[in-house]
Chains A and B, each alone.
Chain A
Amino acid sequence: MPDVKMIVNGKKVSGFVECRTLLVEFIRNDLQLTGTHVGCDTSQCGACAIHVDGKLVKACTMLALEANSCEVSTIEGQANDDGSLNFIQQAFKDHHGLQCGFCTPGMVMATADLLKTNSKPTELEIRDHLEGNICRCTGYHNIVKAILAASGQDTSHIAAE
């Protein structure tokens, strides 16, 4: 089997994979980083969203070998160095931006991607950027609120809590 090497959350990792191994399978099964979820396995839901070389991608729709030599970030690499929640995770917690939590890793990775290029996104820009992330619990309202709060914006016009 071919070998694959990458940097995941700042650490060098390597392994042997079948050519057909998906990136999400390598991350979950080989690296045991199970925070990246598989919701649909058909590129719709975004629970597997991670960053590869700084770009948001769906890890269920990319081969592990395509990420060879790349830098990968997953939800496990998002917390602060002391283990506390980072500002996005904290905002999701504070504003009830999750219920069952299954979509949350993807939501946090998509948010981190958005805020990298747009530090003060509007509600519309947030909703547009989350187009590929499906949540079946929250109705999205509090997710949007959490992201507005994470970017230091007023959330008083978002009614529901």
Chain B
Amino acid sequence: MSAVLPRTAALPGPHWWLSAPALVLFGCLLLVPLALTAVLSFNAFDAATGVKAGEFTLAHYAKVIGDEYYLGIFWRTFWISALTTLICIAIGAPEAYVLSRMGSPWRAIFLLVVLAPLLVSVVVRAFGWSMLLGREGLVNQALRLLGVAPMKLLYTEAAVVIALVHVMLPFMVIPVWTSLQKLDPAVEHAALSLRASHFTTLRRIVLPQVLPGILSGSLIVFGLSASAFAIPGLLGGRRLKMVSTVVYDEYLHELNWPLGAAIALTLLLANLVVMLTYNRVVEGAYRKSLG
């Protein structure tokens, strides 16, 4: 027995050769490139000669944290993502509730109508919004009919937030909808029959039940908004930069790859920190609601 054991231990089990192709691919095209980029972000850079492979510096990270231009862009990315998240909560949570109270077949149909744009390319949706929000777009024409002077919407923060809300809303509706499915309608009926007002029922019965859904939806929406690229690229114009569009500039226009890598990795790190702390909060909320 003891003579057989080392031999079987040395032979990889079927789970290893079954997952080997995926593991090799993810190692070569995910882990190695991320490690290379981490190294690159510490490499010294010279505008005339390019990346200096052997020299290491913290200058790029110092620039990201210390330079007002980059700080401003991180701050803008943060507040645009936070605002998008808040609006998604304000629209997505009630919409999921309204959907869950519909009868069939409307419930299934409208759920698809709200969620299906998720599968349409984000470039198409950004282009659609640029047509709606342009100087002569439908929104300004409608405003003119109402007697309001046309506004500059395209290439402003407002346009970016509107389009981001459109892209992110399904990510809020899905978790709220899922948690509403677990809500027993009898509890709601009981509250109403005990003379609780509709508002009280919503606040005391429905809201605590969907809170975990809202929290996990917020997490996804915030994370995806903070790293969104095509929306700020097409609706923010040349001047209104967000983190991802700046990374694009550093890589493809300034050709300062190390600085671009430092910004991208800072974004990744910030995203992971937000997600992990938020996860703690969500878990805490779950534990509290379960007693």
Q: Do A and B bind each other?
A: no
Binding site for B on A (CB under 8 A): none
Binding site for A on B (CB under 8 A): none
